[in-house]
Chain A
Amino acid sequence: MSEPSPADRRIGVYVCSCGGNISDYVDVPQVIERVRDEPGVVVARRAMFTCSDATQQEIIADIRQQRLDGLVVASCSPKLHTETFRAVARRAGLNPYQYTQVNIREQCSWAHTDDHDGATGKAIGLVRAGIARTARTRPLEPITVETVPRALVIGGGITGLRAALALADLGLGVFLVEREATLGGWVGGFGAMFPHDRDGRTLIAGLVDRVRAREEITVFTGAEVVSRSGSFGNYRAGIRVSGTGTGIGANGGPDPKTAESITVEVGAVLVATGFDTYEPGEGELGYGQGGVLTLPQFKTLVDATDGPLTHQGRPVRTIAYIYCVGSRQPHGTPGANEHCSRFCCTATVHTALRVSARDASVRQYHLYRDMRSYGKYELLFDASRRAGSRYLKVVDDQPPEVAAQDGPAGGLTVTAHDALAGGEELALPVDLVVLVTGAVPRANEELTGVLKIPVGTDRFYNEIHPKLRPVETVVDGVTIAGACQGPKTSIEAVTSGLAAVAQSAAILKRGHAELDPLVAVVDPLACGWCDRCQDSCPYGAIGRAKRGESEVAVIDETVCKGCGGCVPVCPRDAIDLHGYTDTQITSMIDGLAEAVA
């Protein structure tokens, strides 16, 4: 059966007002007026919120009653609603790949708030292009892959450990890979933590015992993930176990003790590689001098001793905490950490409370910018003030300075302007200066390269969308959790780790996954194998195979992401892209050009 010509198609076009987000700038009725007689269009309607359930129901009714074979929704970014309207098509019995999302919000109304006519004209062009593409769609079926009911967890801190247990609780196998020789991460080195005063080392010890007791979990320490191949649902990950590493093999799995480098097959990857703390530069706020410590160093000092606090043999009677060291750095400085590190205010307040509890007479000055003891942590801030901590708000353009005191007694002087005291300059003689250092992204270039996870402007790993897909990355099946994504408290890290488990388990428990069929295909009759396409593929999806006498390119459709990079490099035009064929792209350009003209 031959395909219907574009003019014989039955396409429904829906133009969204998005409340007023679109219709305040784009003349929606005019858009409909100008596209409703395009070849193949049989329904053209407007809606206040096309994504609302009521309009979805209307579209479904139209598809069924009008026997539509193509659907165009002109609304917002495809990032938001491609899946929404594919689902609408599916529910109505229309092949979801005969749907085109046209973005007239981000690309028209929001981009051209000062030019209503221009925004409207552009919208007409984009909708025409969408119609032209839709008129040349063919039904496509998703690529179904069986998923391996196992997950790879990278990082053996509190997030990775808890996530591994949660995966096992749901009946999934786990490979847990930790770069260090021991499990536990940051929390494994902490004493009492806010807000519940639970001892970090004890928490980790309990988790590690439970992890080691689970036969579903295989732990590799002193190990790193060095390669990843395969695709969503069927990844093969190469793990290199260093000489110092130990591992526990289970159930006939690989025995890491005898293997320097092993490969595991997993359906999903959960990345929980954590963070580093900011390391102040030499001389930054006196760092490097005796008596100037970072927050982690100070916590170690507090954790390590009982009784009166001493540092380098000298009693500590007065402490100054300088907040936001390495965080909230001014915009524009190269490599600046503009982010707030979230946990350091409360961690410092909590540590100060522990100091006061040991010796109420220790004087503690907090030189802060904004006290960010958010939510219930406000109670700790209140308690620390009642326990005697003094809080000085420093003004952003007058940062504190740290200098060694003259004279044999040693000690330090912190100079600061306190906004709460009318901006008065104060010189505080102190025994110890604690630089409240925040979180910075961990240097993980090798792993990032292996997994191909994007990083954000803050250089932490980036999720697809903080609300729609908060633990997913653009790499299918690879989730991120914990502080590798951005500064988090221990509890928040565990929370995101468990959320990532929910995301992974939804796929792995089903036993199969569906991939978009919008992939590149090679016409073997045209291909003359020249390797240019293989070189162009960032995903390693293209290989070569013998076909009769000659060699041709073959594309692994489970690996191909449909980026289209291979299509234009082929000297023989032997590659086309499902969903965005050359014919479709040409017709879209024609549609746009017609509107412009």
Chain B
Amino acid sequence: MRYDALVIGSGIGGMESALKLADMGYQVLVVEKEASVGGKMILLSKVFPTLDCASCISTPKMAATVHHPNITVLTHAEVTGIRRDGADRFQARILAKPRFVDTAACTGCRQCEMSCTVAVPDQFNADMVARRAAYIAFPQAVPKKAIIERAGTSPCTGECPAGIKAHGYVALVRAGRPEQAFNLVLEATPLVGSLGRACYAPCEGTCTRGELEGSVPIRRLKRFVADAHYATGQPPSVPVAESTGRRVAVVGSGPAGLTAAWQLALRGHQVKVFESAPRPGGMLRLGIPAYRLPNAVVDDDIANLTALGVEIATNTRIDNLAALRAGGFDAVLLAAGTHAPGRLRVPGEDLPGAVSALAFLRSAKLGRATTAAVAAPADVVAGTAPDGQTTMTDGVDVCGQRVAVIGGGNVAIDTARTALRLGAAEVHLVSLESREQMPAHDWEVTEALAEGIVAHPGWGVRRCRGAERVTGVALRRCTAVLDATGRFAPQFDDTDTIDLPCEVVIAAVGMAADTADFAASLPTNRNGTIAVDPGTLQTRLGYVFAAGDVVTGPSMITEAVGQGRRAAFMIDRWLSGHELDPVAFDDRLPVVDRQAVLSRQADHSRRGPLPPPAVPGHAPDDFAELEPPIAPQEVRSATARCLDCGVCSECHECVSACPADAIDLGMRAEEIDAEIGTVVLSTGFRLFAADAKPQYGYGRFANVITGMQMDRLLAPTRPYHTVLRPSDGKVPDRIAYVLCTGSRDQTVGNPLCSKICCMYSIKQNQLIMGTLPLADVAVHYIDVRTVGKGYDEFFEQAKGMGAEFVKGRVAHIDETDEGNLVLTYEDIDHGGGLATAEYDLVVLAVGVQPNPEVAALFGGLDLGLDEHYYVEEVNEDLDPGRTTIPGVYVAGAASGARDIPESILHAGAAVTQAAAHLERQRQPQRSAQQERTRVPA
């Protein structure tokens, strides 16, 4: 792209610059970092000294700017670098930031805003009220198009191996929409209830709120939405694609297989799941004890799937993939899990009374499922319907027996606690690792011990004792579990041994993929897992994909779910002839920095410490679900604690709400290069951060506000529709202004006068006296600097209306119990002593500060700044607006404090010279002649 002029910033200086250049016939590119043109001026109430409404002056310029035939406007874009191109032209690189809304389709109807579940401070209302993450900047925005603010992926969502939009469903629950939250999880997996109970919730481990009083209970909120949905008995309401006519076989009905089947079914493929066990669910069904995951919940989850028409064939073991293919399946997903138990490899482990944990848990779970009626979750919690139990597990009866469980992982804990519930007299947990090093989650160990399980950490099994049956285990001290490189290589001290008498030994020492049946046709790894392309999960047989533990080895449910999603995505692409692009699968933005989230606000209202998790009682004798459902009031407080780290929660409500189908969360930033003849910098100024003057209490005292906030309170689009004070909504009777806040003040490093604050304060005085005729207004000042045309007359007018001007600086401000403010000030008008006065509301007339970042845009070129970091004007006396770089001009407050009329005139001066620069480019010869010396007559 080629333009005559690049104007950076579209405040009043930028718009004026662009319009004047365009009127002269030049092609202008305007780059604005916000979502709308207009800068700060459009946010003001009225403008001095004419008291024109700021909107009325700004909106025509805004509209004229975007509609001018010679002007191209890029909003929500930033210039990232400018370099010289030849002697006097430039190359600019511009980053067009994603709006996540197709502006061509967006009609500005605000449906997305209304449906959005995230509220953040509204920067266009000086943070006094909230706006949504999906929003239109302000009512007069140009272009009036929605934008979705996304700081990145929230840590919880980013951490989820299943790619579930954790922040999204938390936000939906907070918004009182649990059914939509349920549907959002369904976008990833049908296993909402199972994950809501049995997921180890890595999301909670990374929750930013964990840095404060504790993480949001994300998993239990998921259980909340699952319980709420399943209580309705309704099938899932999800959009299903038209049938593709393609058939896919899924081998294995664990989390990976079920998730893949769900995703493929949603995409319109016909799916059949084959399961070798009598009941579907894989480890959910066979491995996780019912007190953590009731079978009824697994059934509910699977019913989501069958509601879409997915067939599940149980008791069907698949050992021939080619036969499936021949039987009419276009693709096969192998998701058989890891159901081969690990072995102790010690003498006596095959004695009767010694079993594997997998076999033990499986019979405990299946036995229960076959004997117990499905109980409603509430009843289970209430304990009125104890699980039907079986004490016979795979030929091992633990009732009344002493049981030794070997292993230190989560499976060992599950096994031990199951054995206890089945009536074991004693349950011993023998682990190589010390208590601290046990791979099981600490809270699980704690709960197990509370139930009465006896831990024997730091012991290894030497042998199982017994002749015909197990009578005990011989243990030896384990001195180290891992070698120096961190690999599993236990060391033992054979001089330190004990015997543990027991009738049952259950080995929970790992599990492996059982892939012998496929080894002939598919390459496998040494540990038996299937070899796949890790990005696409495709095997060497093109039509066979593999996912879940059979690929990764034993893992968490969420990881298997994530694998299932990925496999389904790839199979769908493979079936439709698309390239298998691993990058296309995960559309998440980079995860936001948690410290950045915390530093967004100076102060977080810390909630009280969270109640510790309930510890179960001693020796439970049933499989009733341990964890109670989350209480309604806890749902409210928990979701309210969410910090909305990524801003947009990805709840997808806007996607559903948008009638124009304009939302595109997959949008990404684009870089644009432009060839430019001249540059006008109109990057404006920043307002002084009032909390940098702590003695005035801004940020601590609710009723100390800034001048910009007062301007918003007075604006026609004002947030409260009248002037209120923030702490209690009272209409203030006594209002004080503190001029020179952050200006003329060496203590904050700014000796300069900010030039605009006297006049905007006086303007506000007049507007307040119009809005609140009974209010008293006092202005504490050093000098009143009303120097423009008609300005001193404006000052006199305010005095005439009753504004009181108090000469003397304010030392500090204190707050009373009622939220009033006591100013201690130097009372020069009455002898110069210290005096105090009490007000309802204090307005700090904050000054202006430079935006020095602009210099960084000019990589190899040296854009000079003055000693106060404003853009330097090299020959201000004759060429105001000219910078140190030939062809680069500055317009407005970027080079020093300027009010609106001054900025407009300064912009005119800058573009006159910018135009001359362009004319010299066009007619180099003529310009050489122009300056030729003539001998005066």
Task: Judge whether A210 and B877 touch: CB under 8 Å.
Answer: no
B46-54, B424-432, B529-537: which lies at the interface = B46-54
A278-286, A367-375, A584-592: which lies at the interface = A367-375
For chain A, residues 316 to 336, give those with C-beta under 8 angstroms from any C-beta of chain B. Answer: 328, 331
For chain B, residues 58 to 95, give those with C-beta under 8 angstroms from any C-beta of chain A. Answer: 59-60, 62-64, 66-67
| A338: contacting residue among B721, B796, B908, CB under 8 A | B796
Minimal Cβ-Cβ distance residue in A for B139: A48
For chain A, residues 184 to 221, give those with C-beta under 8 angstroms from any C-beta of chain B. Answer: 193, 196, 198, 203, 206-207, 210, 212-216
Chain B residues within 8 Å of A203, by CB = 877-878
Task: Judge whether B905 and A196 touch: CB under 8 Å.
Answer: no
What distance in Å separates the Cβ of B409 from its nearest Cβ neighbour in chain A? 61
Minimal Cβ-Cβ distance residue in B for A419: B828
Chain B residues within 8 Å of A20, by CB = 716, 718, 721
Q: When A170-B919, A248-B937, A494-B880 are in contact, do A467 and B59 touch as well, CB less than 8 Å?
A: no
Once the chains are docked, how many angstroms separate the CA of A470 from the CA of B900? 11
Question: A376 contacts the other chain (Cβ, under 8 Å)?
Answer: yes
Once the chains are docked, how many angstroms separate the CA of A171 from the CA of B24? 12
| B753: contacting residue among A328, A375, A457, CB under 8 A | A375
Chain A residues within 8 Å of B916, by CB = 166, 169-170
For chain B, residues 723 to 772, give those with C-beta under 8 angstroms from any C-beta of chain A. Answer: 744, 751-755
Task: Produce 1/0 per residue, A372-395, CB < 8 A to B.
Answer: 111111110010000000000100
Task: Judge whether B60 and A494 touch: CB under 8 Å.
Answer: no
Question: B601 contacts the other chain (Cβ, under 8 Å)?
Answer: no
Task: Produce 1/0 per residue, B769-811, CB < 8 A to A.
Answer: 0000000000000011111111111001000000000010000
Minimal Cβ-Cβ distance residue in B for A503: B908
Question: B56 contacts the other chain (Cβ, under 8 Å)?
Answer: yes
Question: B401 contacts the other chain (Cβ, under 8 Å)?
Answer: no
Q: When A458-B789, A466-B50 are in contact, do A53 and B143 touch as well, CB less than 8 Å?
A: yes
Once the chains are docked, how many angstroms separate the CA of A289 from the CA of B159? 86
Task: Judge whether A499 and B755 touch: CB under 8 Å.
Answer: no
Task: Judge whether B792 and A328 touch: CB under 8 Å.
Answer: yes
Question: B932 contacts the other chain (Cβ, under 8 Å)?
Answer: yes
| A54: contacting residue among B55, B108, B721, CB under 8 A | B108
Question: B483 contacts the other chain (Cβ, under 8 Å)?
Answer: no
| B64: contacting residue among A87, A198, A207, CB under 8 A | A87
Once the chains are docked, how many angstroms separate the CA of A421 from the CA of B920? 59
Q: How many A-B Cβ pairs are below 8 Å?
A: 254
Task: Judge whether A198 and B828 touch: CB under 8 Å.
Answer: no
Task: Judge whether B908 and A502 touch: CB under 8 Å.
Answer: yes
Chain A residues within 8 Å of B931, by CB = 210, 213
| B787: contacting residue among A162, A206, A374, A500, CB under 8 A | A374
Chain A residues within 8 Å of B878, by CB = 162, 203, 206-207, 494
For chain B, residues 17 to 66, give those with C-beta under 8 angstroms from any C-beta of chain A. Answer: 20, 23-25, 47, 49-50, 52-53, 55-57, 59-60, 62-64, 66
Question: A112 contacts the other chain (Cβ, under 8 Å)?
Answer: no
Q: When A51-B55, A83-B60, A505-B24 are in contact, do A382 and B832 touch as well, CB less than 8 Å?
A: no
Once the chains are docked, how many angstroms separate the CA of A393 from the CA of B826? 15
For chain A, residues 1 to 37, give those with C-beta under 8 angstroms from any C-beta of chain B. Answer: 18-21
Once the chains are docked, how many angstroms separate the CA of A419 from the CA of B831? 8
Chain A residues within 8 Å of B716, by CB = 18-21
Q: When A52-B140, A213-B932, A467-B901 are in contact, do A491 and B912 touch as well, CB less than 8 Å?
A: no
Chain A residues within 8 Å of B930, by CB = 168-169, 214, 216
Chain A residues within 8 Å of B868, by CB = 376
Chain B residues within 8 Å of A468, by CB = 57, 60
Task: Judge whether B24 and A509 touch: CB under 8 Å.
Answer: yes
Task: Judge whether B751 and A378 touch: CB under 8 Å.
Answer: yes
Chain B residues within 8 Å of A207, by CB = 878
Chain B residues within 8 Å of A466, by CB = 49-50, 789-790, 901
Question: A304 contacts the other chain (Cβ, under 8 Å)?
Answer: no
Task: Judge whether A340 and B67 touch: CB under 8 Å.
Answer: no
Minimal Cβ-Cβ distance residue in A for B897: A375
Q: When A19-B715, A168-B930, A419-B828 are in contact, do A53 and B919 touch as well, CB less than 8 Å?
A: no
Question: A97 contacts the other chain (Cβ, under 8 Å)?
Answer: no
Chain A residues within 8 Å of B900, by CB = 467
Chain A residues within 8 Å of B158, by CB = none
For chain B, residues 700 to 718, give those with C-beta under 8 angstroms from any C-beta of chain A. Answer: 715-718
Once the chains are docked, how many angstroms separate the CA of A501 from the CA of B901? 16
Question: B913 contacts the other chain (Cβ, under 8 Å)?
Answer: yes
Q: When A207-B878, A370-B785 are in contact, do A18 and B53 touch as well, CB less than 8 Å?
A: yes
What distance in Å separates the Cβ of A294 from its nearest Cβ neighbour in chain B? 20
Question: B896 contacts the other chain (Cβ, under 8 Å)?
Answer: yes
Question: B911 contacts the other chain (Cβ, under 8 Å)?
Answer: yes
Task: Produce 1/0 per residue, B919-937, CB < 8 A to A.
Answer: 1100100100011111011
Task: Judge whether A166 and B913 touch: CB under 8 Å.
Answer: yes
| A340: contacting residue among B52, B144, B786, CB under 8 A | B786
Chain B residues within 8 Å of A328, by CB = 792
What distance in Å separates the Cβ of B336 from its nearest Cβ neighbour in chain A? 58
Question: A314 contacts the other chain (Cβ, under 8 Å)?
Answer: no
Chain A residues within 8 Å of B912, by CB = 166, 169-170, 498-499, 501-502, 505
Q: When A52-B140, A502-B912 are in contact, do A485 and B789 touch as well, CB less than 8 Å?
A: yes
| B66: contacting residue among A51, A53, A377, CB under 8 A | A53
Task: Judge whether B144 and A486 touch: CB under 8 Å.
Answer: no
Task: Produce 1/0 per residue, B663-703, CB < 8 A to A.
Answer: 00000000000000000000000000000000000000000
Once the chains are docked, how many angstroms separate the CA of A377 from the CA of B919? 34
What distance in Å separates the Cβ of B28 from its nearest Cβ neighbour in chain A? 13
Question: B907 contacts the other chain (Cβ, under 8 Å)?
Answer: yes
Once the chains are docked, how many angstroms separate the CA of A91 from the CA of B932? 46
Task: Judge whether A506 and B53 touch: CB under 8 Å.
Answer: no
Task: Judge whether A494 and B896 touch: CB under 8 Å.
Answer: no
Most buried by A among B832, B878, B897, B913: B878
Chain A residues within 8 Å of B896, by CB = 375-376
Question: A354 contacts the other chain (Cβ, under 8 Å)?
Answer: no
Minimal Cβ-Cβ distance residue in A for B19: A506
Once the chains are docked, how many angstroms separate the CA of A487 from the CA of B908? 19
Once the chains are docked, how many angstroms separate the CA of A167 from the CA of B523? 81
Task: Judge whether B63 and A56 touch: CB under 8 Å.
Answer: yes
Chain B residues within 8 Å of A467, by CB = 12, 47, 50, 52, 57, 900-901, 904
Most buried by B among A19, A486, A487, A509: A19
Most buried by B among A91, A168, A340: A340
Minimal Cβ-Cβ distance residue in A for B63: A53
Task: Produce 1/0 per residue, B450-484, CB < 8 A to A.
Answer: 00000000000000000000000000000000000
Task: Produce 1/0 per residue, B839-875, CB < 8 A to A.
Answer: 0000000000000000000000000001010000000
Chain A residues within 8 Å of B807, by CB = 393, 419
Question: B876 contacts the other chain (Cβ, under 8 Å)?
Answer: yes
Question: B829 contacts the other chain (Cβ, under 8 Å)?
Answer: yes
Task: Produce 1/0 per residue, B378-413, CB < 8 A to A.
Answer: 000000000000000000000000000000000000
Task: Produce 1/0 per residue, B265-299, CB < 8 A to A.
Answer: 00000000000000000000000000000000000
* Sample (19) of A-B pairs whose CB atoms are under 8 Å apart: A19-B715, A52-B55, A52-B142, A80-B52, A87-B64, A170-B916, A193-B877, A206-B878, A207-B878, A331-B793, A342-B788, A371-B783, A374-B787, A376-B897, A467-B52, A499-B909, A501-B912, A505-B915, A506-B23
The 4 closest A-B pairs by CB, nearest first: A19-B716, A499-B908, A498-B909, A506-B23
Chain A interface residues toward B at CB < 8 A: 18-21, 48-49, 51-54, 56-57, 76, 80-81, 83-84, 87, 91, 162, 166, 168-171, 193, 196, 198, 203, 206-207, 210, 212-216, 248, 328, 331, 338-340, 342, 370-379, 382, 393, 419-423, 456-458, 460, 465-468, 470-471, 485-487, 490-492, 494-503, 505-506, 509-510
**19 further interface pairs, Cβ-Cβ under 8 Å (given A51-B55, A216-B930, A331-B796):** A19-B715, A20-B718, A51-B63, A53-B140, A53-B143, A168-B930, A170-B915, A196-B876, A331-B793, A340-B791, A370-B784, A376-B752, A466-B49, A470-B901, A485-B789, A491-B880, A499-B905, A499-B909, A502-B20
